[in-house]
Amino acid sequence: MTTKAGLIAAASDTLHTGPRLFASLEAGATVFGGPDGEVVPDSPGLYAVVAQDPNVVQTELRLDASASAGDVLYIGKAEDSLRKRQAGKHFADGGTARSTLRRTLAALLVDRLDLKPLAVASAGRFTLTPESGEQLTIWMRRHLAVRVWQAPAGFAEVTPLGGIEKSVIDTHTPPLNLTYGGTSPEAQLLRQRIRKARTAMAEQAKRGVDVVQADSSACATVGDLFRRRPRQYGLRGSIGLWEELAERLDDTPMPTSEYELGRLLHDALERSLEGAEPYDEDKVNVERFNRGGMSQGLVHLPWWEDQAIPLLLDRWGAWADTQGLLGPEDFIGSW
């Protein structure tokens, strides 16, 4: 049976050396093709968004060369379909509200391309005017390509796709991923710059007079459950963990069952706490969450099990009720 290490090695190598697939517009639809007829499969796997010419893209995005070595810019996973993920989201004119990659690119290119943001119903996000959305997609087709790794049959019996994704991101340290990846001062400064630029665009959109209602797929992601912070955290490290999970799950569609959400949250917690140093019986230390203060990067595990996860499940319950997913016997929380 294939091991987790074997899957990680195969995915990492393919996303580094595999054929680049280029996006083009055919009959109004985005399609991808490689030099020898390769296509993006309609199946789960990992993908890397890469620069066609790294030097040009670094200049366009104003990326520090020390924080963006190589051509890999962003790595993500597709639990359902790699093809739909690329054509229907990242390289789709109207996909900005649903794509963290497009929002990052828009924030970095806002002045160069004169992009115009629009507010959406989901807090902290924005979309683009139709003209700006098309302009961003044209830029992406001109400057970017993708590599894909198709997950083999039965991989889920070995490890979740997210477990492979995290290790591959840590290996390649793509500059546009906001969770995991590079830990150098340059990489951290770049992530800080990206977050500030995205926040500025969202605030600019809110100040504008044009407001659009995001479609249900744009609003309904697991990241939305994290928008309102808890009144009190367990320890200071839990603040960093809360923010990391919010960013990591920002593009994950809202599940349709409480069981599925619970499993997803526990898997995400496990991945974020992988490699954490035990501190005492109910605490672990995660150095990247260390922002100073008495408890530094400590995460209080009972707080997550007894308060944070139940709070998120309650919020999901309130959302699910608005979607008609719950019966009268189901518990309804406060969304």
Q: Tell me, what amino acid is at 185?
A: P
152 and 287 in a single domain? The answer is no
Domain that holds residue 278: 220-329
Where among 173, 191, 217 does a domain terminate?
217
The two tokens of residue 181 are 């990846």
Q: Which residues contact 323 (CB under 8 A, 6 or more apart)?
A: 216, 220
Query: For position 259, what pLDDT does the model report?
Result: 85
* pLDDT tens, per residue, the chain with 335 residues: 489 999 999 999 999 999 999 999 887 778 999 988 899 999 999 999 999 999 999 999 998 877 777 899 999 999 889 998 888 889 988 878 888 899 999 999 999 999 999 887 666 688 898 899 999 999 999 999 999 999 998 888 888 888 899 999 999 999 999 887 777 888 888 888 998 899 889 888 887 634 333 344 445 788 888 877 776 666 777 888 888 898 888 878 888 888 889 889 999 999 899 888 888 888 888 888 876 655 578 888 888 887 888 888 878 877 777 776 654 333 333 33
137 and 3 in a single domain? The answer is yes
Contact 62, 107 (CB under 8 A): no
94 and 120 in a single domain? The answer is yes
Cα(225)–Cα(297) distance, integer angstroms: 23
Number of domains in the chain: 2
For residue 127, tell me if it sits in a domain: yes
Query: For position 164, what pLDDT does the model report?
Result: 92
184 and 49 in a single domain? The answer is yes
Query: For position 207, what pLDDT does the model report?
Result: 79
For residue 303, tell me if it sits in a domain: yes
24 and 145 in a single domain? The answer is yes
39 and 169 in a single domain? The answer is yes
pTM of the model: 0.68
For residue 144, tell me if it sits in a domain: yes
Where among 185, 217, 249 does a domain terminate?
217
For residue 335, tell me if it sits in a domain: no
Where among 217, 250, 285 does a domain terminate?
217
For residue 334, tell me if it sits in a domain: no
198 and 236 in a single domain? The answer is no
Cα 237 to Cα 240, 247, 286, 291, 296, distances in angstroms: 5, 16, 7, 8, 6
